[in-house]
């Protein structure tokens, strides 16, 4: 179920879909996605699909993880990265192997606890996490070279844009239930450049809500 063959098949699919960063592909190939999914779904861990992780949340499709990660890896520094929406910790683990320091925020306490266990199991130690409303970012740790948001707001939160360093990138799905676009926003002085990368589907980014 977790054989090298299934991982290589997934890599081939990602390459066919346009992922070309060897650094990103190598990290996805060597990060055991099966430890981040429920045991009953482990046989699907290397399928190129999103899977439920409880609490009405999902582990993102590997292509989307690769697409978002590649977009920031290819566009600038990776010293400090902020992740909004830790979930089970899979995207966190990918980022941790490509960035010097990762900060990650999760509003659902049981998911955060699970992510901590998963990262500890992998020996990942360059991640700080907190249980909070991710839409506010982590102002005490700004500025960030990159921010990845794994849930979709209707509009881009100004708080996240303002926590970017000069040249920093925010990659974020934006929109409602029927239409979401994956946007890449880059800070240039006091202004921001914005481009649309893909059509996507993420769970909504809920503001002002923290679950214990």
Domain 50-200 sits in which CATH superfamily?
Vaccinia Virus protein VP39 (3.40.50.150)
Q: What percent of the chain has pLDDT above 90?
A: 85
pLDDT at 97 over 80: yes
Over residues 77-96, mean pLDDT: 97
Q: Is the pLDDT score of 201 beyond 50?
A: yes
Residues in contact with 154: Cβ distance below 8 Å, sequence separation at least 6, in sequence order: 174, 175, 176
Q: Name which of 152, 137, 144, 146 is nearest 198 in CA terms.
A: 152
DSSP state for residue 104 in the 8-state scheme: E
Mean pLDDT of the chain: 94
Report in angstroms the alpha-carbon separations of 17 from 9, 64, 141, 173: 13, 10, 35, 19
Question: Which H or E run includes 172?
Answer: strand 164-175
Q: What does the pLDDT read at residue 48?
A: 96
- 118-31-16-179 Cα dihedral, nearest 10 degrees: 20
pLDDT at 61 > cutoff 60: yes
The pLDDT of 29-46, averaged and rounded, is 93
pLDDT for residue 112: 97
Residue 2: per-residue pLDDT? 55
pLDDT greater than 60 at residue 1: no
Side-by-side strand order, sheet with 191-200: 127-131, 101-106, 80-84, 144-149, 164-175, 180-188, 191-200
Q: Report residue 4: phi and psi, to 5°.
A: -60, -30
- For 11-163, strand residue ranges (E) read 51-54, 57-59, 80-84, 101-106, 127-131, 144-149
- Report domain extents, the chain: 50-200
Q: What value does the mean pLDDT take over residues 14-40?
A: 95
**Is 3 known to be catalytic?**
no
Q: Which of 60, 75, 135, 196 does the annotation list as catalytic?
A: 60
Q: Among 40-44, 64-68, 141-145, where is mean pLDDT lowest?
A: 40-44
- Give 22's pLDDT tier (boundaries 50, 70, 90): very high
Query: Is the model more confident about 203 or about 50?
Result: 50
Of the listed ranges 64-68, 117-121, 141-145, 173-177, the least confidently predicted one is 173-177
| pLDDT, tens digit, 9 for 90 and up, residues 108-164 | 999 999 999 999 999 999 999 999 999 999 999 999 999 999 999 999 999 999 999
- pLDDT category at 211 given cuts 50, 70, 90 is confident
| Beta-strand relationship, 144-149 and 127-131 | unpaired
């Amino acid at each position: 179920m977790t054989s090298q063959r299934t991982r290589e098949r997934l890599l081939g699919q990602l390459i066919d879909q346009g992922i070309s960063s060897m650094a990103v592909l190598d990290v996805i190939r060597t990060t055991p996605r099966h430890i981040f999914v429920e045991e009953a779904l482990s046989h699907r861990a290397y399928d190129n699909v999103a899977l439920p992780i409880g609490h009405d949340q999902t582990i993102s499709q590997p292509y989307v993880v690769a697409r978002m990660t590649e977009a920031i890896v290819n566009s600038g520094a990776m010293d400090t990265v902020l992740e909004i929406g830790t979930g089970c910790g899979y995207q966190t683990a990918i980022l941790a192997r490509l960035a010097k320091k990762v900060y990650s925020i999760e509003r659902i306490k049981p998911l955060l606890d699970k992510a901590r266990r998963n990262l500890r199991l992998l020996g990942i130690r360059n991640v700080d996490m907190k249980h909070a409303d991710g839409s506010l970012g982590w102002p005490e740790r700004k500025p960030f070279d990159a921010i990845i948001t794994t849930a979709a707001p209707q509009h881009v939160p100004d708080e996240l844009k303002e926590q970017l360093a000069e040249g920093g990138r925010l990659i974020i799905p934006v929109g409602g239930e029927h239409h979401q676009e994956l946007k890449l926003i880059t800070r240039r002085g006091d202004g921001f450049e914005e481009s649309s990368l893909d059509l996507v589907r993420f769970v909504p980014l809920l503001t002002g809500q923290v679950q214990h």
